[in-house]
C-alpha cells in the first residue's frame, strides 16, 4: 500500500452485492493525492461499481470508505460533489438543446432568480484558458463532437471545484487526436494537485498516463502497483490472470468468390455529400478493414449495406443479389450478420432480459419459435448457450441487459451475430469497451469465421485492431475511399496520414 501520509481516499474491505451477484468483494486499495490512478480489469470485474460507490451512486453492503483520513459515508452523489468528487460517465449526461455554459451550471445555478452570466462566463473562460479547452461556451451541446461534449463534462466538474475526477472509459469514443488532447489536460490537472481516477481497457493508455494502477478481477482488487514497474505484457497478464495467448492465424485458401460488392455508392443529403462513389468488393474467406476516423461516412455506409437506408445512388450486391429486394429481416436470414456501431441505439434493448436480447433480429427463426408463438424455454436455452460460449457475466438469462457492464453487453451482441451460419459479417467497432481477454477471444472467433468461408468487413477506428485482423485495408476519408492497401504493405503511420488528411499531404 502506498505511503499513508499522501493517501487521499481509500476503500477498505468494500463488498457490494446485487441480488446473488457479488460485484465487489472486499475491495481494498488507496489513491494518493495528486496522482493519476488507473483501474483496470475485465468486463464485469467491478471497476465501475467501486467507482460508483465512491461517487455515492451505490452504497456498499459492508466495508468502509476513508476520505482524507476519516471514515465517510457517501450516500448520494450530492454528498460526493460536496466533497469535491466528480464523475464523467461513459454516457454523457448533457442536455443537447442547451448551450455549453447552461449545461455547466445546470443543477448548480447561483440562485433561483438572478443569473450573473458575466461572472459565470468569466470563471469559465479562466478555466478554459488554464487547461486549454477548445470550446465555444455559447454553442449548443447538440452541435458538438463527442470529444467536445466530454470536455464540457470535465469543465463542469472543474466549475464545481472538483478535486477528484473519475473518468469511466474516457477514450472509448474519442479519435486519436482527441485522446491526445484529453491526456494533456489530465496531466495538467495532475500538476495542479487534482486527483484523477481512470477506468480503461487500453493498455497503452494506462502505461503512458497513470502513476499507479489497480488491477481488478472478478470483483476483487488483486493488487495496486506503480505503473513504472509494468509493461504491456505484464499488465495484460495481471488483468487476465494468465499468459496472453497470441492469435493463431487460421490458414485460408485462395480468394474465393465475392460475397458483397458495393458499386459507386453515393449519398447526398441536406448536409452535403456524405458518401462519394464508394466501390469495393469483399470475398468469402477474407477480412477487409475499413479504417477511418469516426464521422467520415462510416455510419451511412453501414446503414446502406445493412439495408436500413435506401435513399442512395449506386448499387450493392450481396451474394449476387440486390439486398433491396429483401426486407432487413430476410437479409439477415440469408447469412448477413451485423454488429452495429451504436450498441444502445441499434443493437440491444436495455430493458429487455438477456434472453430477449439474444434473439433480437432472429426472433422468427425455427429454433426459437413455432409459427407465431415464441418458445420461452428455447429462447432461454439459446441465450444460455450464447452466454456460456462468450463468457458473458453475470450469466443469468433473466436479468435485464442494463444490469450488465458495457463490455458484457457487447459480448452478447457479438455472440448473437456470429453464433449462426454467417456468410458475411459487417462488424463495426466489435470490441469497443471490451477487455483484452474477450477481445482476443472475439478476434480469434473472427479468424475462425473467415476460415469457414465468411467475408468480413471490419469497421474500426482502432488501427491496432485493423492491422491485426485485416487481409486488406480500405481507408475512408470524408465519405470517399482514399486508399486501398494489402496488409503486408500497410504501416500505421501511412494509414494514420490517410485517415486524417485523405493522403493529400505527402509525407
Q: Which residues are near another protein by CB under 8 A?
A: 75, 306, 308, 327-332, 338, 340, 344-352, 356, 359-361, 363-364, 369, 372-374, 376
Is there a contact between 105 and 159 (Cβ–Cβ < 8 Å)? Answer: yes
Nearer to another protein, 128 or 343 (CB): 343
Q: How far is the CB of 50 from another protein (least distance, A)?
A: 23
Q: Which is nearer to another protein, 242 or 363 (CB)?
A: 363
Cell of 240: 487476465
The single residue listed with the C-alpha cell 509493461 is: 231
Shortest Å, Cβ 321 to another protein:
16
Q: How far is the CB of 310 from another protein (least distance, A)?
A: 12
Least separation in angstroms between CB 308 and another protein = 5
Name the residue nearer to another protein (CB basis): 1 or 373: 373
- Please answer whether residues 90 and 127 qualify as being in contact, where contact means their C-beta atoms are separated by less than 8 angstroms: no
C-beta closer to another protein: residue 356 or 396? 356
Q: At what angle do helices 117-131 and 176-191 cross, to 10 degrees?
A: 100
C-beta of 400: minimal distance to another protein in Å? 11
CB of 204 to another protein, least distance (A): 32
CB 378, min distance to another protein, A? 12
Q: In this complex, which beta carbon is closest to another protein, that of residue 214 or of residue 353?
A: 353
* Distance (Å, whole) CA 345 – CA 155: 27
Task: Please spell the DSSP secondary structure of 347-358, one letter per residue.
Answer: I--TTSBHHHHT
Phi, psi angles (nearest 5°) of residue 13: 55, 40
Coil, strand or helix: which one is 100? helix
Q: Among residues 118 and 370, whose Cβ is nearest to another protein? A: 370
180-215 residues labelled b (16+ CB within 10 A) or e (exposed): ebbbebbeebbeeebbbbbbbbbbebbbebbbbbbb
**What distance in Å separates the CA atoms of residue 90 and residue 438, rounded to the nearest whole number?**
19
Query: For another protein, which is the closer residue by CB, 175 or 357?
Result: 357
**Gap between the Cα atoms of 350 and 410, Å rounded:** 12
Rounded CA separation 364/417 (Å):
15
Amino acid at each position: 500500500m502506498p505511503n499513508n501520509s499522501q493517501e487521499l481516499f481509500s476503500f477498505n474491505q468494500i463488498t457490494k452485492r446485487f441480488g446473488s451477484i457479488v460485484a465487489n468483494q472486499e475491495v481494498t486499495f488507496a489513491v494518493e493525492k495528486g496522482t493519476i490512478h488507473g483501474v483496470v480489469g475485465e468486463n464485469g470485474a467491478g471497476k465501475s461499481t467501486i467507482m460508483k460507490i465512491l461517487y455515492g451512486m451505490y452504497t456498499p453492503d459492508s466495508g468502509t470508505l476513508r476520505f482524507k483520513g476519516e471514515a465517510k459515508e457517501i450516500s448520494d452523489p450530492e454528498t460526493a460533489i460536496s466533497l469535491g468528487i466528480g464523475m464523467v460517465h461513459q454516457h454523457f449526461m448533457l442536455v443537447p438543446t442547451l448551450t455549453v455554459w447552461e449545461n455547466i451550471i445546470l443543477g448548480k445555478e447561483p440562485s433561483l432568480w438572478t443569473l450573473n452570466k458575466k461572472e459565470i462566463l468569466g470563471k469559465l473562460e479562466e478555466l478554459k484558458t488554464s487547461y486549454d479547452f477548445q470550446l465555444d461556451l455559447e454553442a449548443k451541446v447538440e452541435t458538438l463532437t463527442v470529444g467536445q461534449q466530454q470536455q464540457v463534462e470535465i469543465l463542469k466538474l472543474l466549475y464545481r471545484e472538483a478535486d477528484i475526477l473519475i473518468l469511466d472509459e474516457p477514450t472509448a469514443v474519442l479519435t486519436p487526436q482527441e485522446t491526445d488532447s484529453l491526456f494533456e489536460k489530465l496531466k495538467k490537472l495532475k500538476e495542479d494537485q487534482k486527483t484523477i481516477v481512470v477506468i480503461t481497457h487500453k493498455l497503452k493508455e494506462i502505461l503512458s498516463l497513470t502513476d499507479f494502477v489497480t488491477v481488478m478481477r472478478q470483483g476483487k482488487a488483486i493488487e495496486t502497483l506503480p505503473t513504472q514497474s509494468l509493461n504491456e505484457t505484464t499488465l495484460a497478464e495481471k488483468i487476465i490472470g494468465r499468459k496472453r495467448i497470441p492469435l493463431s492465424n487460421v490458414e485460408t485458401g485462395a480468394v474465393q468468390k465475392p460475397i458483397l460488392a458495393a458499386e459507386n455508392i453515393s449519398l447526398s443529403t441536406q448536409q452535403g455529400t456524405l458518401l462519394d462513389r464508394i466501390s469495393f468488393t469483399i470475398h468469402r474467406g477474407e477480412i477487409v478493414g475499413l479504417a477511418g476516423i469516426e464521422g467520415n461516412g462510416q455510419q451511412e455506409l453501414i446503414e446502406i449495406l445493412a439495408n436500413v437506408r435506401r435513399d442512395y445512388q449506386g448499387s450493392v450486391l450481396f451474394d449476387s443479389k440486390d439486398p433491396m429486394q429483401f426486407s432487413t429481416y430476410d437479409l439477415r436470414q440469408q447469412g448477413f450478420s451485423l454488429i452495429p456501431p451504436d450498441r444502445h441505439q441499434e443493437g440491444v434493448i436495455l430493458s429487455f432480459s438477456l434472453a430477449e436480447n439474444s434473439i433480437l433480429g432472429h426472433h422468427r427463426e425455427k429454433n426459437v419459435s413455432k409459427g407465431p408463438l415464441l418458445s420461452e424455454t428455447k429462447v432461454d436455452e439459446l441465450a444460455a448457450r450464447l452466454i456460456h460460449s462468450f463468457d458473458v457475466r453475470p450469466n443469468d438469462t433473466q436479468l435485464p441487459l442494463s444490469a450488465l457492464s458495457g463490455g458484457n453487453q457487447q459480448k452478447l451482441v457479438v455472440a448473437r451475430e456470429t453464433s449462426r451460419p454467417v456468410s458475411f459479417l459487417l462488424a463495426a467497432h466489435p470490441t469497443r469497451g471490451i477487455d483484452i481477454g474477450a477481445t482476443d477471444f472475439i478476434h480469434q472467433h473472427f479468424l475462425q469465421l473467415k476460415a469457414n468461408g465468411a467475408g468480413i468487413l471490419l469497421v474500426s477506428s482502432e488501427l491496432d485492431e485493423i492491422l491485426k485482423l485485416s487481409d486488406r485495408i480500405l481507408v475512408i476519408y470524408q465519405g470517399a475511399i482514399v486508399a486501398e492497401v494489402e496488409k503486408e504493405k500497410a504501416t500505421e503511420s501511412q494509414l494514420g496520414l490517410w485517415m486524417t488528411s485523405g493522403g493529400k499531404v505527402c509525407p
